[in-house]
A and B are shown apart, each in its own frame.
Chain A
Amino acid sequence: MEFTRDGKSCSFCGAPWAEDNKLIGGFGPQICHRCVSDAHDLLDDPAEMDRRRTPPWDDLTVEQMLNTLPDIVRTSDQVDEFLHGWVGLLRERGVSWQQIGLALGVTRQAAWQRFTRAKRAGIAEES
């Protein structure tokens, strides 16, 4: 599996990787420098966290929700691609479907089916 941030985007704001806005990866998701700084400040401020208890989407218009949708789809697909990359890596090392199934608490067959089906087509790229 290639280690690259090209084409990746922040799973918090949707911003693409850029030299002046680095990304750091987790279990598939990425977070950008700006969001890390914001999160860092916010999470250490209990009062502000309490103010954010109201779900932000309650105040969004339909247009705003629709505008956010492609970013959610793209970052969701990003996790899926990472997952497939990870399984590909295991298979390259000769790890059996049985072992992969065991790690996931499913049968050999279920693991095989899940990961050998064609990768879900990126919906945003279909047209």
Chain B
Amino acid sequence: MENLTERHFCSFCGLQGSDQERRLLGGLGAFICQQCARRADETLNDDATWAANQRAPWHDMSDEELLQVLPRITASGAQHDDFLHDWVDMIRERAVSWHQIGMALGVSRQAAWQRFTRTRKAPATAAVEA
């Protein structure tokens, strides 16, 4: 599994990572860029900003705006799903059985196998142009 910033995008703003201008930090399949990390830091550390963020943003969005965000959500989901599948592939490459993978997830060998050998969702290439 590769660890390249340029291949991923921020799960918060949807913008493509760049080693020069938009470094990304990865988590459990999600990524955050330096700009969003800075904004999140400010929001979380300022009571007034935090309070202002306690309302669902979608209530104030038009249908058009909601539709514009939709591809970003599907792309973020695909990116996360891709990471999950890569993770399982890496575990499998180390000769771990489906039984063990199922155990880790609290499901049967069969359920684990079914979930991860089904075809992947569309690749997460739909990053928004920066």
| Chain A contacts to B: CB under 8 angstroms | 1-3, 10-14, 22, 24, 26-29, 31, 33, 35-37, 39-40, 42-44, 49, 53-55, 57, 62, 65-73, 75-76, 79-80, 82-83, 86-87, 89-90, 93, 95, 99-100, 102-105, 123-124, 126-127
The residue from A39, A42, A65, A103 contacting B90, defined by CB atoms under 8 A apart:
A65
A117 to chain B, nearest CB (A): 12
Q: Once the chains bind, are B96 and A26 in contact (CB under 8 Å)?
A: no
Chain A interface SS verdict (over half): helix
Number of A-B contacts (CB under 8 A): 198
The answer on a CB contact under 8 Å between A73 and B84 is yes
Contact A57 B84 (CB under 8 A): no
Q: Is the CB of A68 within 8 A of B107?
A: no
Residues of B in contact with A (beta carbons under 8 Å apart):
1-3, 10-14, 23, 25-30, 32-34, 36-38, 40-41, 43-44, 50, 53-56, 58, 63, 66-77, 80-81, 83-84, 87-88, 90-91, 94, 96, 100-101, 104-108, 111-112, 115
A75 in contact with B73 (CB, 8 Å): no
Q: Which residues of B contact A54 (CB under 8 A)?
A: 3
| Docked-complex contact A31 and B104, CB < 8 angstroms | no
**Besides the known contacts A26-B11, A68-B28, 13 further A-B residue pairs in the complex with CB atoms under 8 A apart:** A2-B56, A12-B25, A29-B30, A29-B76, A35-B27, A36-B41, A57-B87, A66-B91, A72-B29, A75-B30, A76-B29, A86-B73, A103-B67
